[in-house]
Amino acid sequence: MAAPDVTIYEVGPRDGLQNEPETVPTAAKLELIQRLGLAGLRRIEATSFVSPRWIPQLADAADLAGILPALPDVVYSALVPNPKGYERFREAGGIQVAACFISASETHNRKNVNCSVDEQIERIRPVAERCREDRVPLRSYVSTVCGCPYEGAVSLDAVVALVAKLLALGIEEISLGDTIGVGHPGQVRELVAAVAAETSLERIALHMHDTYGRALANVQSGYEAGVRIFDTSLGGLGGCPYAPGASGNVATEDVVDLFERAGIETGVDLDALVDTTAWLERAVLQRPLPGRVYRARLGAREHARGRESA
Ligand code: HMG
Ligand code: MG
């Protein structure tokens, strides 16, 4: 099968489920991930090797990693905040890509990982060294690139300087996170242009949250600026536990539909994805998920069923 034109990087099992009030059982996480893989998602962030005291929802990371299905072309990743997390990730096996994270603003970084930005760089450094020795691909998130829930505006220079530091550590892919969804398309265009001066855009992903309803516009702006990797979450599931008021990531269905309608291939089967989100909503979470294309597709299905039975 030819490679799709864009990479949809599914973060629902991690960014979504880390934020659920109730911990989802491991068996349901496994089924979710399997369904996502079968729907054509090729990169799936499965879980986090963070402190179970901080994120109890993902305390089963090692158990889940040990039973993840080997699906053709599917690459799994997991969050790794520090060397301890990397040891747990390696011991568990089953996940190919490690993903560390750091914020462009001091206060969010402290709330999220309990240290300064410089200290977090020093925690990432040995993880990057180990990844190089072990030939494990390493991604890093940079959070709060468009604004911080505690400090407000975040300067473009601070983001670019942090991206440069991470690149110098040998990190292969950097995902720029609009953690609280305050970014706007012009800001994203400027951000991508500034980062493109540091590295090839093949190594840059956009991770947009939809708090203010602009995530899809920001994705479009990022695409036009040359980005080809987009982090999304099925049904718009998620948020950030250390960013008050942050809503979910841009919905996978919305991004897939946006691209496919423009003739840009994602490799994702939208019908199978809608089935997966409907299953998650009804069988696991028992609450409605907000994704717009998801809700529209469900509505259209119900309408068609009503006409058939009339
Ligand atoms: P800390 O308390 O400062 O850690 O937490 P510490 O080094 O002082 O250790 C304290 C205890 O935690 C020790 O245990 C360590 O062994 C243990 P004790 O001796 O007390 O029994 N510990 C660990 N246990 C398991 N796994 C580990 C680990 N590390 C230490 N990896 C730490 C520091 C980073 C661990 C903590 O702050 C943490 O886990 N934070 C994670 C927060 C998080 O997961 N946030 C959400 C993900 S980020 C996000 O959503 C944003 C993103 O989507 C992008 C965007 O939207 O912007 C990625
Ligand atoms: Mg996020």
The CATH number given to whatever domain includes residue 213 is 3.20.20.70
pLDDT band for position 245 (cuts 50, 70, 90): low
Is 185 inside a domain boundary? yes
Q: Is the CB of 179 under 6 A from ligand 1?
A: yes
List the domain range (segments joined by +) for residue 160.
7-309
Task: Give the global pTM.
Answer: 0.97
pLDDT band for position 240 (cuts 50, 70, 90): low
Instruction: Find the 243 Cα to ligand 2 centroid distance in Å.
Output: 10
pLDDT band for position 43 (cuts 50, 70, 90): very high
Q: Relative to the alpha carbon of 241, which ligand is closest? A: 1
Which residues have C-beta within 8 Å of that of residue 251, sequence separation ≥ 6? Answer: 210, 232, 233, 234, 235, 236, 289, 290, 291, 292, 293, 294
pLDDT at residue 124, as a whole number: 98
pLDDT at residue 308, as a whole number: 84
- The per-residue pLDDT for range 7-39, each reduced to its tens digit, is 999 999 999 999 998 999 999 999 999 999 999
- 82 — alpha (psi -120 to 50), left (phi > 0) or beta? beta
Ligand 1 atom having least distance to the Cα of 177: 57
Burial class (CB in 10 A: 0-12, 13-18, 19+), 27: exposed
148 is catalytic: no
Q: Is the CB of 120 under 6 A from ligand 1?
A: no
Is 17 inside a domain boundary? yes
Q: Is the CB of 148 under 6 A from ligand 1?
A: no
Q: Which residue has the tokens 């690139």?
A: 145
pLDDT at residue 147, as a whole number: 98
Average pLDDT, integer, range 51-73: 97
Which of 14, 50, 175 maximizes ligand 1 atoms within 8 Å of its Cβ, making it the mutation to test the pocket? 50
pLDDT at residue 265, as a whole number: 98
**What percent of the chain lies above the pLDDT cut of 90?**
91
The tally of domains found in the chain comes to: 1
Is 73 inside a domain boundary? yes
Q: Which residue has the tokens 């060397």?
A: 83
Is 42 inside a domain boundary? yes
Is 71 inside a domain boundary? yes
Is 2 inside a domain boundary? no
Instruction: Find the 110 Cα to ligand 1 centroid distance in Å.
Output: 11
- C-alpha to C-alpha distance for 141 and 287, rounded to whole angstroms: 29
Is 1 inside a domain boundary? no
- The per-residue pLDDT for range 209-228, each reduced to its tens digit, is 999 999 999 999 999 999 99
Is 93 inside a domain boundary? yes
